[in-house]
Amino acid sequence: MVVAEMIYRVLGKTGLKVSVVGYGASPLGAEFGAIDPAEGKRAVDTAIAAGINYFDVAPYYGRTLAEARLGEFLEGKRKSVVLATKCARYDVKGFDFSQKRILASIDESLKRLRTDWVDVFQVHDVEYGTNKQVLDEAIPACQKVVKAGKARFVGITGYPVHNLKRLAEQAEVDTILTYCRYNLLDTAAEEVLVPLAKERKLGLINASPLHMRALTNTGVPEWHPAPARVVEAATKAAAHCKSKGVDIADLAMQFVLANEAFATTLVGMSKVRHVESNVKVVGTKADPTLLAEVMEILEPVMNVCWREGLPENDDPNAVDKRS
Ligand code: NAD
């Protein structure tokens, strides 16, 4: 049962008031395995009932399946949510940062999402494009989409935080979304992105607070890119929390939600029980002793990050995936 009161924060200069827990729709596209669509719909309904108003999706998730499902599940509720989607990524290796593709992409997304506009339109995984094309073509194309009234704000998303910072310094964007870079295993976004976001009033969106399931009792999916020692440390930390009667996912959520620099934290949720678990920790504090013990277990792998995208866009300390 959902008990906590939702908390809202302002998403930078967009002025949008967004719930601190945001709904990540990638599991609706079966990115973490097949799901029961009826349960997915119940999860969306439960999220809205619990005060979650930020919904994040992309054409890439389930290769359009997540957008189609979310559009169906939000039917009649569109006006009560802030809806964000993306462009330029369409498959594992399928990227197209051209203006032509982005202008077509928004129309395809709007159709699937059953709406006339999205609130935030983001260039997806910018590290897979050259900075030149992202700056000269992709972001201006998104701005055209805003001028056409099909989106309200423009954002960029990705993994290497230094690349996101470089782009945000040079382009007119409203939001930055980064994933797996602010949680119990990695806090690089705090150091690299928060100062710029404060200075420019950019909305910061923190995705994957559970480090794509590393910080859960279920453990990582087979495709998880983290090096083995990161996964091993996370497994050890989860077992330690369990021995103290705590679900590591709760601790992980308490940790990220306490940082007010991030307007919303997106968790992937296709199950009602996950929505309920993640909402119930809103407004609660992590047990400081347990947090310190977990941090000690994770310390040897803290901020270990992997290569993602074009080599020129890697973070300086990045290592090979699954190394
Ligand atoms: P996540 O860290 O949120 O983990 C999601 C997984 O954990 C799912 O398998 C889910 O079923 C499970 N889960 C959720 N709550 C749980 C709980 N309380 N206990 C146990 N398991 C739980 O990772 P994510 O889904 O990759 O990230 C969240 C969202 O952020 C995505 O759905 C997507 O919308 C967004 N995102 C964007 C980008 C990008 O733009 N480049 C990248 C990653 C994520």
* pLDDT per residue rounded down to tens, the chain (323 residues): 545 699 999 999 999 999 999 999 999 999 989 999 999 999 999 999 999 999 999 999 999 999 999 999 999 999 999 999 999 999 999 999 999 999 999 999 999 999 999 999 999 999 999 999 999 999 999 999 999 999 999 999 999 999 999 999 999 999 999 999 999 999 999 999 999 999 999 999 999 999 999 999 999 999 999 999 999 999 999 999 999 999 999 999 999 999 999 999 999 999 999 999 999 999 999 999 999 999 999 999 999 999 999 999 999 999 999 99
Pocket test for ligand 1, best of 19, 39, 179 (most atoms within 8 A of CB): 179
What is the 12 CA–ligand 1 centroid distance (Å)?
A: 22
Residues in the chain: 323
Instruction: Output the pLDDT for position 3.
Output: 56
Question: Based on the number of CB atoms within 10 Å of its own CB, is 320 exposed (0-12), middle (13-18) or buried (19 or more)?
Answer: exposed
212 lines ligand 1 (CB under 6 A): yes
Whether 43 contacts 77, CB under 8 Å:
no
CA neighbours closer than 13 Å in the CB half-sphere of residue 240: 18
pTM for this model (two decimals): 0.98
CA neighbours closer than 13 Å in the CB half-sphere of residue 212: 18
In which residue are the tokens 């349960």 written?
39
Whether 43 contacts 277, CB under 8 Å:
no
- CA angle, 318 as apex, 266 and 22 as ends, to 5°? 0
Nearest to 158 by CA among 58, 271, 256, 235: 58
> Rounded to 5, what percent of the chain is helix, strand, coil?
45, 15, 40
Rounded to whole angstroms, the Cα distance separating 88 from 132 reads 14
Those residues whose C-beta lies under 8 Å from the C-beta of residue 45, and which sit 6 or more positions away, are 73
- CA angle, 31 as apex, 240 and 175 as ends, to 5°? 85
211 lines ligand 1 (CB under 6 A): yes
